[in-house]
Structures are given as C-alpha cells and as structure tokens.
Structure 1
Amino acid sequence: MGKGNPVSRVVYVNGDFVREKEAKVSVFDRGFLFGDGVYEVCSVLDGKLIDKDAHLARLGRSLESLKMNCPASLEDITSIQRELIAKNGIVEGTIYLQVTRGVADRDFNFPNSVTPSLVIFTQKKNLLNDPIAGKGISVITLPDIRWRRRDIKTVMLLPASLAKQEALERGAGDAWLVEDGYVTEGSANNAYIVTMGGVIVTRQLTHSILHGITRKAVLKLAEQDGYEVEERAFTPGEACEAAEAFITSASSFVTPVVKINDRVLCNGIPGPVTSKLRRLYIEMARAEAE
C-alpha cells in the first residue's frame, strides 16, 4: 500500500454528504452549547438496517418530548442512512444519527424560527463475532447521577462517560447504575438477570430507563421461546445471586455479564439462556433487516 492518508468516511451534515475532515457544525449549535439534542444508533448487518422503523419512532418521541422539530422526513432520513451505508461500504457496523435544536446565539430559552441540525455517520464494527460476547464482561455498580428523563435519548452523556471510564479504570467492562437501592440500567444498555429458577428479570419501562429497541425485541423472543419474563426492579444483591446476567443494546445485541463487582456468575462464562437469546436475536435481526 502506498503512502498517504486513507480515504476518510463520508458523513452527512445538514443537507450535504462530505468527507469527515470537512464535516463541521457551528460553534453556536445548541447541541454543542447545551447538549440540546437527541440521537439514535442503528446497527447494520449485511449492509441492511436493523429495527429502523422502531429507532425512527423513538427518535420522534424524543423530539416531541423536547419540543424539537425533525429536520427531515423519516423517509428522507432512511434514504440518507442507506446512501451513507453504500458510500462507506458498511457491511457490518452502526449508523449514528443526531438532531439538535439548531444554531442560535447563546440563550437558555429556546430560539424562534431555527432549523434543527442533522448529522449522520457510520462506524464499521464487528457485531456478529464480537470477542467480548464470547467471553462476557464484568460490571461494577455505581450511583445513577443522571437526570430523571432517561427515556429521552439525549446527547447529554457525560454521566455515562464518567461511569464507563471508572469501570475501565477499575478493570471492568461496564457499569450498572443504581438508584434508591435498585439497578436502573447499564451506562449505555439495558440490564437483565436470570434467576436460579430461570426467570428473566429486567427493569420495567418508566422515565428511569431508556426504552431500548433491542430490549423490546429480545423480551419478545424470550417469551416466544417459553421463558418467563418479569419486568421489575432488582437490587445489586439479587443480581449477585442470579444464575446469569446480560445486557442488550443496538450495538452489542445480547452480551453476557459474567461478574458483578466481586461476584462471579455462571463460573465466569456466558450462560445458556444468554447465549440462546443472542443467537435468536441475531437470527431475527438478519432475517428482518432492510
């Protein structure tokens, strides 16, 4: 291979497809100044989008919750995503979409008559054969210091970043967040345990957690396969006494948790329930991606 910089990604910024080095947003964008924006991450398998309609529907709910307009139709957004996948040759990976309220002089009040900003980019990732999924992760528990509307997928991710960094520094793969004595969710994923009786337990849907798209799909698959599911809060102590634990997200699918704080689960290897759910989810995702 000759010398020189590799060809950079093509990204979408406010109506234009540009090379990533040329991609720019204003310093007065409210996403930059206030974290006044929302986002979605959709996985790509075989060059196709997984659960695109559900992700776009959640984007609409997030925008509505923040009284923010969408800068393009959902059909146009899908077209942009597919064009980026093609331009960047993404067979397996993710596509990130961010909408902010737009550009205006700095003022805490919402500006009038501004056009929302839209940024979309792709990332190549090994999703199907992720080595982490093969061995599982360890998690630590940390206080949940986030705001109370976690069901809105906002770009205000500093608490999640702090939690992930502390987990890294303590030799863990992620953090489970705890509020009022109960696990809410992971730093960027939904959290589950499997009881010794084989019941899958995960937090019920409220403002306290993100209403995960992968979560919904996995719970449906679990029930179809005959598993009992309980949507309720669980404590870190209950999690440490569980038979298995796992997380779900758009980019990690179903990933085993084999250690919680100092407690090793399932002899430190992915458990049978988790492994089966991951296989079922991947089969479903590949069959229904579009």
Structure 2
Amino acid sequence: MCPCQCLGPAGQTRVLVFLNGRLVPEEQAVVSAFDRGFLYGDGLFETLRVKNGVPLRWDAHWRRLAAGAETLRIKLPFTSDFLRAQARELSRQNQLPEAILRITLSRSVGQRGYSPKGADTPTLVMSLHPAPPLGPTSPQWKLHTASLRVPAGDALSACKSANKLLHVLARAEAEAAGADDALLLNPLGEIAEASGANLFWIEGNALHTPPLSSGALPGVTRADVLAWCQSQGIAAHKTTIDLSRLLRADGAFLTSSASGVVEVIALDDEAISTSSMTHRVRTALLAAWAIEANATAVR
C-alpha cells in the first residue's frame, strides 16, 4: 500500500485515489479486468512532481498527455483545470504536499481483441506516491547500456505510452549489472535516452542532448533545461551521439520530472568526467520549481 495516508471518517487511515471523477479510498479504486490498459497497455501516463501541494509543470504535462491521446485516438474525459484542482485536493486530503503524481489514462473496456471498437469510455486514474528527496547535491548514478533497442523516429516515441515493457526490461538488466539506470540505444547505435529520463552531456561550455529523432521521449524537464540554456546564453544542441563520444564528455546528467537533475558518473563501469555545469543546471531547476510551487500554492 502507498504510504500517503490520511484519516477517514471513522478515524482510520486510508489512501485516496482519483478514479473517473471522484476521490475514493484505495480499496475502492478498482478497474475492470477487461480494461484495455491492463490487457494491452492501451493507454498513456504522466508523472509529475508535487511540491507544496502543487503539481509542477502541469500545463506542459497536460499538453503531452493531450497530444498522446490524440495520437492514440482516446478522448480525454476531463478538462485540464478540473484535473489540476483534483490533483491538488488529492494532495491535501492525503496530507502529502511533497509527492509524485501519476496520471494514468486507459482506453478502458471494449470488445475482445486488438480492435478498439466499443471502448468509448476512457478510464482516468490519479495516484500519489513517495517522492525521491531533492537535496542541494545531485545523486551520482552509474548507467548500463541496455541490450534492447528503441525505435528511431517512431511516432509512438513521442507518447508516454502505458506499454513500457522495453524500458522495464532495460531497467531490470541495468540493476542486475549493478547500475542505477539503463541507457537505451536505437538500431543505428545512437543514444536515445535512459529508461526513465532524458540524457544531457557537456562538451566544453555547451550542453547536448539526443534529438527526438533518435528515439527520445520529449521530456518536460528536458524542454525546461533547453529553455533555461537559451535564457542564460548557454549553447545547447540536439546532437546524435554514440557511446564512445559520451565516454569522452566533460560531464553528463539525466533529467526527469521525478528526480530533476541526476549526475552520471559511469557507463558500463567506465568513468565519465563530472562538471560544475551539472550542479548549476540542477540548482536553477530546483529554484524554478520552488518559485512555481510557492506562487501557485497561495492562489
């Protein structure tokens, strides 16, 4: 059971989950055994950081969710404003102002088989989960190159699909090798992303990140870092890269909505240089998150 708990009407602890328009106790948050999200991974999800009860970068996550829903031809059952308000209420009632919010959208129940016909009433769930701490100093992670490959230039790469089996297996392989995360390549040998984060590396005073055409997810935090670089006059390039170039980099880090900026110190047991730029980016990102949370919390 998720440890985010609050007191119910009878004084008993309970966990609340948003399910199809209502906040319900965890034990009542049940979807059908015939839900296509369960059967086929036919759906989408978003992961947001919650700070001071505020779901950060909501609009950017909503745009990606809406774009993915359009690609998958799933009709969003609620408006952005309604779900944002419900997410904040979920944080308040669970007494968990610092958390990870997951939004899960499924095509829901339809006829048996792959055809989506009849699956016209989507399921939408929002749940809160423990958040990794965000201290002033970045964690230092080791990466392992996954044996599986992600497609390059695939239209579905832009969707945060509920079917993440490739990423699950890549992460398991990395952990079995003693690493913290997996580095995923496409069939051309180009680096795409980590299993749950985007990659940046540093060459001199410039930042680089793989282009979306290499198979990377259009990460919200990735976009924020690129925008920050532009505001600071820091060169930032979308560059195809192989493993040998990454090992020669002056520094590298991962970005995600859950962990912010995480420094990379090794790849396949070979050391990668560290750079003060990583700390600078992390500090700027955490400051921006704090400003957003404090400004929105008082509304």
If the length of structure 2 is used for normalisation, what is the TM-score?
Answer: 0.88
In the aligned structure 1, how far is the partner of 2:43 from the partner of 2:27? 22
Q: Which residue of 2 aligns with 1:186?
A: 194
AA matched with 1:158: L
Greater shift in the superposed pair: 21-30 or 102-111: 102-111
Deviations 1:248-289 (A, max 9, x none): 0100111100111122123xxx53101110000010111123
In the aligned structure 1, how far is the partner of 2:226 from the partner of 2:70? 26
In the aligned structure 1, how far is the partner of 2:150 from the partner of 2:91? 33
1:127-138 to 2 correspondence within 5 Å?
Answer: 127-129=133-135, 134-138=138-142
Asked if structure 2 preserves the Cα contact closer than 8 Å seen for 1:33 and 1:106, the reply is no
**Are residues 27 and 287 of structure 1, via their aligned partners in 2, closer, same or farther at CA, if it must alter by over 3 Å?**
same
1:116-195 to 2 correspondence within 5 Å?
Answer: 116-129=122-135, 134-146=138-150, 148=154, 149-179=156-186, 180-195=188-203
In the aligned structure 1, how far is the partner of 2:78 from the partner of 2:225? 30
In the aligned structure 2, how far is the partner of 1:169 from the partner of 1:286? 35
Shift of 1:210: 0.8
Unaligned runs of 5+ in 1: 1-5
Residue 278 (1) aligns with residue 282 (2): yes
Unaligned runs of 5+ in 2: 1-11
Q: Which residue of 1 aligns with 2:36?
A: 30
Q: Which residue of 2 aligns with 1:240?
A: 247
Task: Give the paired residue count.
Answer: 279
Shift of 1:113: 6.0
Greater shift in the superposed pair: 40-49 or 251-260: 40-49
**Are residues 135 and 77 of structure 1, via their aligned partners in 2, closer, same or farther at CA, if it must alter by over 3 Å?**
closer
Residue 204 of structure 1, aligned match among 207, 211, 221? 211
AA matched with 2:72: L
Residue 97 of structure 1, aligned match among 81, 103, 111? 103
If the length of structure 1 is used for normalisation, what is the TM-score?
Answer: 0.91
In the aligned structure 2, how far is the partner of 1:258 from the partner of 1:272? 13
In the aligned structure 2, how far is the partner of 1:70 from the partner of 1:91? 26
Asked if structure 2 preserves the Cα contact closer than 8 Å seen for 1:41 and 1:95, the reply is yes
Shift of 1:217: 0.6
Shift of 1:123: 1.2
The RMSD of aligned alpha carbons is 1.7
In the aligned structure 2, how far is the partner of 1:141 from the partner of 1:153? 21
Asked if structure 2 preserves the Cα contact closer than 8 Å seen for 1:8 and 1:19, the reply is yes
AA matched with 2:160: K
AA matched with 2:172: Q
AA matched with 1:145: R
Shift of 1:205: 2.7
**Are residues 186 and 42 of structure 1, via their aligned partners in 2, closer, same or farther at CA, if it must alter by over 3 Å?**
same
Q: Which residue of 1 aligns with 2:48?
A: 42
**Are residues 188 and 126 of structure 1, via their aligned partners in 2, closer, same or farther at CA, if it must alter by over 3 Å?**
closer
